[in-house]
Every structure is written in structure tokens, then in C-alpha cells.
Chain A
Amino acid sequence: MRLRVLRFLLRKEFLQIVRDRTLLGMLFIMPVIQLLVLANAVTFEVKSARMYIIDKDHSSMSRGVATRLAASGRFVPTESSPSMAEGDEAILDRRVDLIVVIPEGFEREIVRDHRAPLQLVFNAEDGAAAAVMQTYANAIVMNYAGELGAEVSPSVVTKLSVGDGGAPARGHPVMELRRRGWYNSELDYREYMVPGILVVLVTMIGTLLTAMNIVREKEAGTLDQLNVTPINRSTFIAAKLIPLWTFAMIDLSIGLVVARFVFHVPVLGSLVLVFFAATIYLVGALGIGLWISTVAETQQQAMFVTFSLLMVYLLMSGLFTPIRGMPVWAQWTTEINPIAHFVALMRAVLLKGARTRDVASHLAALAAISSVVLSIAIRQYHKRSA
């Protein structure tokens, strides 16, 4: 690699990027808009879930349960009756999202035994929403129980889930949840999604723009012109990757500012660590773009290949669905999915304040993936066709 030649090429790349208004728009406006739109739309947030109250105890504590749920703003009591059958009907008619069943003797048992059962019945047609409602309800009930110095174990029943004919299965604890949101105590899904969306943004910028940039030179014929010059391969590749890497890092910075000051996403960990990880990650993301540019002949092809690849990577990354919920073989694939590692790392560092040694395994994986991807891409890139 000759540094003097690299300097001339870098100047050219930066000039071209700065003069391309569409590209600049993509680089600086789209991330902000995407972050604002996606972060507000892509959410598992549940607000104002309709709640059916079956209070068989009619005590101050049983009313306390209903009041606490309602006071959270997550649940709105819309109907109530002492009849389980009517509650079932309401959920089957989809008039309510959940039923809270407070059995007779609730208060008495709390006072006497410091523990009492409670039943929550969810409409689980939308599994993700049901899980979220359950988490919220659980947290609120536990909290209330804590105040009373008692232990309440809510039993959970889901209705209308896939394959469920709707037959009421009552009094049947399907599972007992004892989850607490440690690092996202408000269970704010924006906090959870924003770090992931930041990853998507820098990935799109890194991979798509790299692929498009080189293929555009192929289409214009300027790549052939460069290929007949004595520039060596590593100089050319460095000149292509350094500017786009820089802009992806700038995008990440803009995204972090928006995340911090618009979404109030906590930044508990070290920003140095975030940028260090991004540096490693982007080498891989840009490498994928470089590889795509060697196989695509037109910008359309490059775009199509990029989106197809990223779609698979994103869906299998744990960004939208928990990795632990995937089949075992799919969980294995996340080990070689750079997006999965970077999403996990970003969430850990931003939301939990994880330190370098806590995320060392992710860093190592990213470094390994990036070096493999980049070397494959560089090998694939030839000045002369065989």
C-alpha cells in the first residue's frame, strides 16, 4: 500500500461523497428519521390493555390489586363481574385482553399466610403482546405484594393461542413467572429497541453504501480505468473503505446523540467501548459490502443482494425476537452472525453498563468474523478478470 497514492484516492472519495446530495441525505437525514420512526413504531409496548376484573374477594387488598394495575397506565379496567364464564366470553369475543381473577379469601390468606394465589388470563393470539402484558402485570402484582409484605404467586393462563380452540382451562397454572426487569426497570421497549436500531443503521450505511459505491464505478467504467493503473489492491480497497467507515461512525455518533437526548436511552457503559466495538464490527459490515460489489454488476443487483443478506442477518440476530426462543440450529447460526453479537454488545454496554471484560466474547467473535469476511472479500476482488 502506498500512502501517497492512498492520499489522492481518499481525497477523491471524500470529494465525491460530499458532492452527492442524495448520498448525503442518506448519510445524515435518514438515520435520524429512521431512528425516530422505527424506535416509535417497532415496539412491543403495551399500553391501555383492556382488563376484565373478577373480584371474588371484595376486600381492600383485592381492590388494591385492581387499582395498582389500572394506576400503571398499562391496563384499563373495562368490565367486571364475579363470573368466570362471562370473563371467558369477553376474552373470546376479544372485548378484553386479559382477565384478572382474585379468588375468595385473598386478603385473609395474605394476612394469615403472607401468600395468596392470583390468576391472570391472557389473550395470547399475539404472543409477543401477551408476554409483555404478562411481564407488566406480574411486576405490578409482585410490587404490590412486596408492599404488603406478602408473596403473591400469580398463575398465568393463556387463551386463544395457536392451536387453542378456546376451551377455558381455568385454575390451571401454566407457568409461574418470577421475572424482574433488572436493567430496564421501566420495561421501556424503546430503550431496548434503540440500541438495536442503531446497529441496523450503521450496518445499512456500511454494507449498502460500500457495495453501491464500488458497483457505481463499475457501471460508469471508471473502475476499469482505475484497474489499468498501477494502484495496488490494498490501496484501492483502503481508499474505498476508510471514507465509508468514517461516515458510518459519524452516523453512529448522530444516532447515539438522538438515542440519548430524544429517547433518553441510558448510556451506562463506556462510549469508548461502544466505538471500539463499532470499529471492529464495521470492518466486517464494509467487508460484506465489498464482497457484494465483486459479485454484482449493477447497482440494482447490489441493492438486491444487500437487502436479501441483511434481511436474513437481521431476522436471525435477536433484534426482533429473543435468540433463546429460536430453534437450536438457529441459535448456533447467531454465533457467526455479526449483527447478533453487535446488538447484544450494544444493549449490554448501553443499558447495563457492561465493561470490556463482560463483552469480551462478543468482541472476540466480531474480530474473528470481521477478519474472515474482509479477507474473503479482498481475495475475491481482482483487478483482472480470470
Chain B
Amino acid sequence: MTTAIDVRNLTRRFGSFTAVESISFDVRQGEVFGFLGANGAGKTTAIKMLIGLLAPSSGQASVAGFDVSTNPDDVRRHIGYMSQRFSLYEDLTVRENITLYGGIYGLTDSEIRDRGDALIGTLQLGRSSDERVESLPLGWKQKLAFSVAMLHEPAVVFLDEPTGGVDPITRRQFWEMIYTVAERGTTVFVTTHYLDEAEYCDRISIMVDGRIAAMGAPAEVKQRFGAATLDEVFLGLVRPAGVQTPQSA
């Protein structure tokens, strides 16, 4: 198995505050990797470094085989990204958004048309394809954003809280989409607040105060912490009372 994401002692400081402190992990190709942590634990900062929006203070990271510090544009060509805020263009139609991102990633006109048709078919957006995205319900928007992020068939896709605020049925469909792309070999790096979703991941890591406090397959992590659910693990780590943590602030 090849390594899709390789992170070594990655650190990011903002002045005297260390948002991400020397984290190391790797993610295999085709793996669904859950990146968990409380708000402010440093998840978003870590993701921003991996997708080239933020320069690391120290340490190395490579994504899809390219170093994020030295070859950020090669990284960008091989990743997809969907942020927690819906970030397609609300004032463009479904089709126009697809065409725009297809064009940006250098797809040919026929690729844009064919993949766009397939995408609209899968999402059953046929009737809405010429409507502005702002008129779609949130769940549809999120599924569309994910599909658009996959349009150029990236090696790695980063999903930052993709299911925030959507209903359980849509969440379920969303995870089916995630599995589909993972089966096709795309590495999925996903952050979430829903610990039941974390159970769907091949492996997870839990970030606490800028460090990775636990990592492994969900069952492994539960076993190591002697907990019945990931909820317990998470609460124990985030509010360190009795459970040992690498960093008790």
C-alpha cells in the first residue's frame, strides 16, 4: 500500500501560541481517515497546512507524493477539498459550477460534459441542473460540493466537517458517497464532530490541544482506552480526568 499522506513533526505557531504541535501520522492510499478533535484543537490549522492554504512553521508533510512546502501547486492538482462552509458559487447554476471547477482543473470540454452528466445523474439533480445553487436544500448542496471536489478525480480528498447541519438520511447518503470514492482508490481525509461517523472510518486520530492524543482503528482505540464507545474515549481525552493524556494542560 502506498502512502497518500505523510506527516512528520508538523508544527504551526501563531506568535507565541502553538496551534499544531509536532504531529506525525500517515494515511494509506484508499483509506478513510477520520481526523477528530474538539473545536480549537488545531484540526483546521492542520488541514490548512496539508492543502496548502497555510505555511507550516516547521516539520514536513507530503500529500499525494508531493511536499506541501516545496511543491504546493503539485499538491493542489492532486487533491480535492470541501470546507465546512459551503463554498460553491451560490449565484451560479449547478451546471455552471461544475463547468467552472472542471475548467479550473484542466478537464477537456467533453470530460466536463460527461462527468457533469454522470454527477447530475447520480445526485438526481437533473431537474435542478439549471437552477442556481442557492435554491438547493443544504443536504443537496453538500453532496454537490463533494461531487464537485471529486470532479478531477483527485488522489486525496479533504473533507472538513462535511456533514455539519445536515439530516441523518443525508449524512448516511454522504457516507455512502465517501465509501464509493474510497473503493475507487481515493484517499479520504475527513474531520467530523459526530463520533458515530468516526466509527465508519478505517482509522481515526484524536487531536487535543494541538497534539495527536490517540490514533488507530476505532476498535483499537476503544480497546486501548478501555472504553465502550468513541464518545467515552473522546470525553476522557478532551476533559482529562483520570484518563492519561500526553498533555494535561
Residues on A facing B (Cβ under 8 Å):
2, 4-5, 7-9, 11-12, 15-16, 19-20, 220-222, 224-232, 383-386
- Complex contact A224–B76 (CB within 8 A): no
- Complex contact B105–A229 (CB within 8 A): yes
B21 to chain A, nearest CB (A): 19
B85 contacts the other chain (CB 8 A):
yes
B80 to chain A, nearest CB (A): 8
Neighbouring A residues of B85 by C-beta, 8 Å: 220-221
B72 to chain A, nearest CB (A): 6
- Complex contact B79–A222 (CB within 8 A): no
B27 contacts the other chain (CB 8 A):
no
Number of interface residues of B (CB under 8 A): 29
Neighbouring B residues of A4 by C-beta, 8 Å: 103, 106
Chain B, range 56-77, C-beta contacts under 8 Å to A: 72-73, 76-77
Neighbouring B residues of A222 by C-beta, 8 Å: 87-89
Give 30 pairs: A residue, B residue, CB < 8 Å, sorted on A. A4-B103, A5-B106, A7-B103, A8-B104, A12-B89, A12-B92, A12-B96, A15-B96, A16-B89, A16-B91, A20-B91, A220-B85, A220-B87, A220-B90, A221-B86, A222-B87, A222-B89, A225-B83, A225-B88, A227-B53, A228-B52, A228-B76, A228-B79, A228-B81, A229-B104, A230-B73, A230-B76, A230-B77, A230-B105, A383-B53
Tell me the complex Cα distance, A20–B89, Å.
Answer: 13
Neighbouring B residues of A11 by C-beta, 8 Å: 99-100
Tell me the complex Cα distance, A385–B48, Å.
Answer: 10
B54 contacts the other chain (CB 8 A):
yes
- Complex contact B55–A225 (CB within 8 A): no
Which of B54, B88, B100 meets A384, CB within 8 Å?
B54
Tell me the complex Cα distance, A2–B85, Å.
Answer: 28
B51 contacts the other chain (CB 8 A):
yes
B101 contacts the other chain (CB 8 A):
yes
Which of A5, A8, A20, A224 meets B87, CB within 8 Å?
A224
When C-beta atoms are compared, the residue in chain B nearest to A220 turns out to be: B87
A219 to chain B, nearest CB (A): 10
Tell me the complex Cα distance, A328–B91, Å.
Answer: 51
- Complex contact B100–A9 (CB within 8 A): yes
Tell me the complex Cα distance, A222–B104, Å.
Answer: 14
- Name, among B85, B87, B104, the residue most crowded by chain A CB atoms within 10 Å (CB to CB): B104
Neighbouring B residues of A384 by C-beta, 8 Å: 52-55, 72
**A5-B106, A384-B55 are contacts. A225–B81 as well, Cβ < 8 Å?**
yes
Report B157-184 CB contacts with A as 1/0, cut-off 8 Å. 0000000000000000000000000000
When C-beta atoms are compared, the residue in chain B nearest to A7 turns out to be: B103
